[in-house]
Amino acid sequence: MPKIPRQVSPRQKLLYMISSEILTFDPAGTSETGYFLFHDIHNWEIGTIEGENSVEHGKKIDILIKKIKPLMIGWETANFLKTKYANVDWLELVYINGIIPYLININSISPAHAYKVYNLETKRAIESSKITGLIMKQVKGERGRPKNIWYFQDKELTPHQRDAIAVFYIVWTKHLKRPWPWKII
């Protein structure tokens, strides 16, 4: 069950207990941020937010949050201090990872960050098909070389969308301690 903010009405408390509306992000400071929105097993959405920098991403994430009003938001964070790939894009990623918690706070949403999506446990879950519905298919790419394409429920994914689903997997199975929803169909 999501963490319930201290000052909520009884109706809001009931919604927190029965609803599963969760929005997860795999943020990028530049290019695209992948997101996954879960209402229920038959009603979910995968998308991307595109922008030149973290401020544009933050504005678009804010619009999405205000439109959807999710009960919980999960996002991937990483250990930014131990990276050897520090560049301008890296700095934008640090910024967006500060903007998301700010937006969660001002919109009174329950947070559930996922530290490093590609930790060993999640990587094994993806590779061993524990995340039912998330599959990789090898297709012929340009020049006839094999190319790996990820799909979720037959929808082709970008790498950031795939990681947003992995964040949802962490939030759903680790934070909320629920069984993976697509495993039961």
pLDDT, position 56: 92
pLDDT, position 45: 95
Rg from Cα positions in the chain: 17
For residue 173, give the DSSP letter: I
Q: Angle formed by the axes of helices 159-170 and 120-127, to 10°? A: 110
Torsion angle, alpha carbons of 124, 39, 43, 47, to 10 = -70
- For each of the domains in the chain, give its residue range(s) and CATH number, in order of start: 10-184 (3.30.420.10)
Q: Of 54-68, 69-83, 103-117, 124-138, where does the model show the most confidence? A: 54-68
Is the Cβ–Cβ distance between 19 and 71 less than 8 Å? yes
Q: Which helix (H) or strand (E) holds 179?
A: none
pLDDT, position 9: 57
Q: What's the whole-number average pLDDT of the chain?
A: 81
The average pLDDT across 92-116 equals 85
Tokens 């006839």, residue located: 144
pTM above 0.75, yes or no: yes
Between 144 and 20, the higher pLDDT residue: 144
pLDDT tens digits, one per residue of 79-103: 555 556 566 677 888 888 889 999 9
> What are the beta bridge partners of residue 46?
36
- The answer, yes or no, to whether residue 155 has pLDDT greater than 50, is yes
